[in-house]
Structure 1
Amino acid sequence: MPHFKARVELPQIPDDMTLEEFMLDYSHKLRPVRPAGTPWLVVDKTGRKVGLDEIRTRTRGLEVGVKSQFGICEDDVVLIFSKNHIDYLICVWAMHRLLARVSLCNPTFTNSELGHQVRQTKPALIIAHADVLNTAIRGAREFGLSSDRVVVLTDDDHAKYPNQTTVDELIAKGLSLPNAPFTRKLHPGEGRKKIALLSPSSGTTGLPKVVALSHFGLIAGVLMVSSHQMSDAKYATWEERRYRPGDISLGVVPLYHIFGVLMSHVPLFCAITVVVVPKFVFKEMLNSIVKHEINLLTIVPPQAVMLSKDPIVRQYDLTSVRVITCGGASLSVGLTTQLAQLFPRAYIGQAYGQTEVTGGISMPSMSTKVGFFCGTLLPGIIARVVKSDGALAAHNEPGELHVKSPSVAVGYWGNEIATRETFMDGWARTGDLVMFNANEEIVYIDRLKEIIKVNGLQVSPAELEGCLHDHPMVADVCVVGLPNEKTGEVPLAFVVLTSDAALLSQEMMGTEKIKQELIQHVAANKTRYKHVARVEFIDSIPRNPSGKMLHHVLRDKALQMGRSDAKL
């Protein structure tokens, strides 16, 4: 039975350099020339432009400042606890010059959540944004790390933080000192195992984990996406590709998430400007698209839902957008269709990947204008689909996706058991139920652990969620299994109504009538065993920062509701 692979061969990947060296100093044959005057980064709010010379200067200044003041050494861990910031990548790259490991952390974490990651990664230094400074200091103290080893990332006056050192102060200190050559050149092959990032992941099974990503794997990820643009001979020049030198990309995806890491480094490598957005606010995102004339829009499903459903979008001229890439979680056919109607001239598709393979597994085919599935495999990846009986699947046969990739993670940090369960004989298990169609596209079905069993038959929550998203009254939805004595489980839909539908339910129809309409909508479009037995309204669907729904949270809520005696 077949293995699946991309049609394009991946060029040689350097294995003797850090991600910082590759991004700031290396000329690869795939790398285009950046047009004169094209900045690397732009501050969303002020429009301040940052070029390569300034990035190099600040990166090397921070390297020297951190080394001289805190003595950070090779293989030390530095945790970054911050929202998107113009200096975020500079902080990452400066630590890479010291061959330190960077632990990326969600800035919305509570004290206990931050403490969990601190205990897992044991940082020698924390760089925290001013907005979450108090949480960072408490987390450091609980771990036994002195509060003076929490550095502040801020645009404010340094005098506001008399007890802390700021990133700007460290850069200034580093630039005032002799530029000592702290950076050790990696040996041939060393980049394959030298840890660059410790990235949080929900894991393919079990509890959340931290994934250890190598410099080689991250560089491979950048080259794989760039090579994908050459997957068709007719796209021979940069002007004919999706990503074009001089384009402007909106950097609204969180940089602590692997999707944000990949989709910031790839545009920068491809001579594209990244506008750094500190935090996602929908109306402000629309303003930013217009203000900066954004060409490349990288989003996650909740943002796609807002673009498709919120009438305010019609008030904005978004015609500058040429490419929309959605990742982090699956996007239904209905939502993709609505996006295509809203952006009739744009290329629209889904990227699919996992932290365990440094973000990228597949992206929209270059020949596809609107992609309803997860695209084709990136160059360098070999995939197989393993059926429940252990046999390998052919086209249009579902099973768990396993991949081999030069970008595969080193493993789970400090968790040998989980590493052995997920990374086996060169293959990484994704925990996702998929199939390959006749066009070699990955068709995502669902997470294996989310599948609902009705009379022994598999029901995909994603399929029912997509069906319900097609209903005009539904703003968001999550489907989970509800225990049932006769069938084992039945589907329960937690639904967020649109503002108009919520008003209508109060004034005219009533909530029960709307619930029945939604149940009937699924019944009219799906076979009997997939029918939704129950609908519950909810204010918002819990999601992680990449947009993946936290099914387990609502599954626990469903269990508290008790068993269902609904008949299917």
Structure 2
Amino acid sequence: MPEIFGEQLDTVIPDDLTLSQFFLDSHHPRRPVRTNTPWLIEDDTGRRIEFEEVPPSGNSKIRARTFGFANGLMLRYGIKEDEVVVIFSPNHVDYPPAIWATHRLGAIVSGANPTYTAEELLHQIRLVKATLIIAHPSSLHTALGAARAAGIPSDRVITFGESTQPSVESIIQLGLRNEPAFVERRLKKGEGKTKVAFLSFSSGTTGKPKAVAIAHYAPMVNVIQIAQYTKVNENYAPWEEQRFRSGDVVAGVLPFFHIYGLVFSIYAVPFFGMSLVVTPKFNFTDFLQSIERHRITHLTLVPPQVVLLCKHPAVKNYDMSNIRFMISGAAPLSAELVNQLMKVIPNAQIGQGYGLTESSTSLTMYSVDKKIGVPGSAGQFLPGVVARVVKPDGSLAGLNEPGELRVKTPSMALGYWNDEQATKETFVEGWLCTGDEVIIREDKEVFIVDRLKEIMKVRGFQVAPAELEGCILDHPDVADTCVVPIPDDYSGEVPLAFVVLHALTANRVGKDPRESDKVKASIMKHVADNKVAYKRLAGGVEFIDVIPKNPSGKLLRRVLRDRARTLRAGGPKAKL
């Protein structure tokens, strides 16, 4: 198969602006004229946060708060160009201004997973050589412990809310009370492609997280790629059928520290003229209430959240009719789930996208020409993306042949921070080696088979856990699942399914142990009836209370692989 090209980018993207200058200070032909809608909405309170300064409460507006925080950081801490600020917090309405203010000063942002332990946070702080930490009061104890171990003075740990530490609000007010203490630098021509904006950490689902260096130019490009692909600011269809419109309301449940939430929620949503409902922590029933309360129209989710929409009994108590767009990313979504989802949100366009931290997020998305994306497909390549599929022997795969996806995109990251070896292995001669096995059809639809490292080999045949999980989730007793390989003398590896049961089934099994065997047998038969023999659950089914996932929604398969080994070795069945 020759290389596959997305369409050409139809506009010039400036390479001499920082992200703050591009998104807060400039205009672009793809950017709609914004209607009277807020940039951000605080989920719990409904507080609406506008962009422009409007007296007399101008200091509550985004642009003013961004300036105030940048000026305050300079006055109090003397933040210099290329210093690294770690943001260790769940989503917060001041999280985006904190990023934009840091970039006003020419410094670098590194978002940290707010569920990290002090040891995990310390690893990130040391790797990026952070000099300041912005934390949430809920994560303050961990932040202070990591800062102390890293040699960062405690007064350089500040919080979004009130605490014993300096607050973001106090620093914003300090900055607003004083004359500008900094001069924002204009980048040289081309410098936006090399100046680091973010040190974003890869998910760590297959190993120790690495810091991905992302230049200012990359998220700008990706937003424009999405805008062109989805025809933002074009009258390509009747207003009510256009995918992204000024005034739409988007659920901001994706974590901002993760590339999906960072680029799409913080940058694409306001650029497209939409409002983002900022939710600090995902709780499913609270999420359903938010959909009703804020009349949310757009959902950007990950597969485990889609599973809840399809399976949770509370959904029937809420009005989902206002939702007219849903996209799932971060992991493959099965065709079975898409079919179920169409019944839950019947008025919505539904489909998938695909991207990586290393590509500064989106590489594919489902077409605006389709209300429902091709089942099982991650969509087609965005403008400016070039792709090839490489077989294990290094030769190029043909159409409909599986192999590793390798891409070139103008939104590609610079590499891994202070990790030359990993950079050489992943960024090869201008190509990003994704580590994902894909199949590309004649119509350029891209099907993500699975992570190559997660593919199991059963009697020499490749078996993708995601495929089996999609099948298992179609069983009426199953609320959630994760499939892992276990060693087998005859087959090499065989699939084992960890399963979370629906509450009624779990109660039935709890009351009568014989029911457990019946339900397990039923699940195994369901897979056997729908899959080829070597994909059957020869490793069995194990019930579990919850499937472990990282905050971006990816299954922590390695945790359950370890659990499976312990079970098969006859060790203690520690409760997850």
Query: TM-score interval w.r.t. the shorter chain?
Result: over 0.9
Separation (CA, whole Å) in 2 of partners of 1:8 and 1:499: 50
Displacement after TM superposition at 1:395 (Å):
1.5
Contact preservation (8 Å) 1:483, 1:563: no
> Which 10-residue stretch deviates more, 228-237 or 331-340?
228-237
SS across alignment from 1:249: strand
- For residue 461 of structure 1, report the CA deviation from its aligned partner: 0.8
Asked if 1:39 is matched to 2:25, the reply is: no
Looking at structure 1, the residues matched to 386 and 205 of structure 2 have their Cα atoms a distance apart, in angstroms, of 19
Letter in 1 for 2:548: P
Single out whichever of 517-526 and 236-245 deviates more from structure 2: 236-245
Correspondence for 1:137: 144
- The answer to whether the Cα contact below 8 Å between 1:204 and 1:422 also exists between their aligned partners in 2 is no
1:94 aligned counterpart, secondary structure:
helix
- Number of residue pairs aligned between Structure 1 and Structure 2: 557
RMSD across aligned C-alpha pairs, in angstroms?
A: 1.7
Matching residue of 1:201: 202
Aligned to 2:135: 128
Does the 8 Å contact 1:204/1:431 carry over to 2? no
1:241 to partner: Cα distance:
2.3
Partner of 2:7 in structure 1?
7
Instruction: Tell me if structure 2 keeps the 8 A contact 1:353–1:360.
Output: yes
Partner of 1:242: 243
What is the match of residue 22 of structure 1? Answer: 22
Q: Which residue of 2 aligns with 1:331?
A: 333
Q: Which amino acid aligns with 2:437?
A: L
Structure 1: distance between partners of 2:156 and 2:181: 22
Aligned to 1:166: 167
Partner of 1:273: 275
Q: Specify whether residues 231 and 84 from structure 1 end up closer, same or farther in structure 2 by C-alpha distance, changes over 3 A only.
A: closer
- The equivalent of 1:226 in structure 2 is 227
Match of 2:58 in 1: none
SS of aligned partner of 1:287: helix
Provide the C-alpha distance between the structure 2 equivalents of 1:121 and 1:449, rounded to a whole number of angstroms: 27
Which 4+ residue blocks in structure 1 deviate beyond 4 angstroms?
A: 203-206, 231-234, 236-240
SS at match of 2:361: coil
CA shift, 1:239, in A, is 6.0
What TM-score comes out, normalization by structure 2 length?
Answer: 0.94
CA distance in 1, matches of 2:382, 2:204: 22
Deviation at 1:180, TM superposition (A): 3.7
What letter corresponds to residue 276 of structure 1 in structure 2? V
Question: 1:46-57 residue pairs with structure 2 within 5 A?
Answer: 46-53=45-52, 54-57=61-64
Among 56, 67, 87, the residue aligned to 1:60: 67
Contact map agreement 1:204 1:430 (CA 8 A) in 2:
no
Match for 1:58: what amino acid?
R
Q: Is residue 510 from structure 1 mapped to residue 515 from structure 2 by the alignment?
A: yes
User: Equivalents in 1 of 2:90, 2:102: separation in Å?
Assistant: 18
Superposed displacement of residue 205, structure 1: 6.5
Contact 2:218-2:410 within 8 A present in 1 as well: yes
For the residues of structure 2 that align with 1:397 and 1:414, how far apart are their CA atoms?
36
1: distance between equivalents of 2:348 and 2:441? 24
8 Å contact 1:10–1:380 — kept in the other structure? no
Counterpart mapping for 1:75-474 below 5 A: 75-154=82-161, 156=162, 160-161=163-164, 164-202=165-203, 206-230=207-231, 235=236, 240-264=241-265, 265-371=267-373, 372=375, 373-474=377-478
TM-score normalized by structure 1? 0.95
Q: Secondary structure at the match of 1:123?
A: coil
1:329–1:546 CA contact under 8 A, matched in 2:
no
Shift of 1:59: 0.3
Structure 1 distance, partners of 2:233, 2:527, is 39
User: Offset at 1:171?
Assistant: 0.7
CA distance in 2, matches of 1:507, 1:539: 16
**Structure 2 residue matching 1:297: 3-state secondary structure:** strand
Identity of aligned residues (%): 49
Letter in 2 for 1:62: F
**Displacement, 1:504?**
2.2
Q: Tell me if structure 2 keeps the 8 A contact 1:229–1:235.
A: no
2:530 counterpart of 1:531 = no
Contact 1:522–1:531 (8 Å) recurs in 2: yes
Q: Report the CA distance shift for 1:356/1:204 in structure 2 as closer, same or farther (over 3 A).
A: farther
Residues 413 and 479 of structure 1: is their aligned pair in 2 closer, same or farther, counting only changes over 3 Å? same
Aligned amino acid, residue 151 of structure 1:
I
Segments of structure 2 that go 5 or more residues without pairing to the other structure are: 53-60, 571-576
Following TM superposition, by how much is the alpha carbon of 1:182 offset from its aligned partner in structure 2, in angstroms? 2.4
User: What are the superposed Cα offsets for residues 24-64 of structure 1, whole Å, 9 maximum, x if unpaired?
Assistant: 111001001001x2111111111111111211100001101
Q: Which residue matches 1:488?
A: 492
Change (3 A) 1:330 1:141: same
Q: 2:552 matched to which residue of 1? A: 546
Unaligned runs of 5+ in 1: none
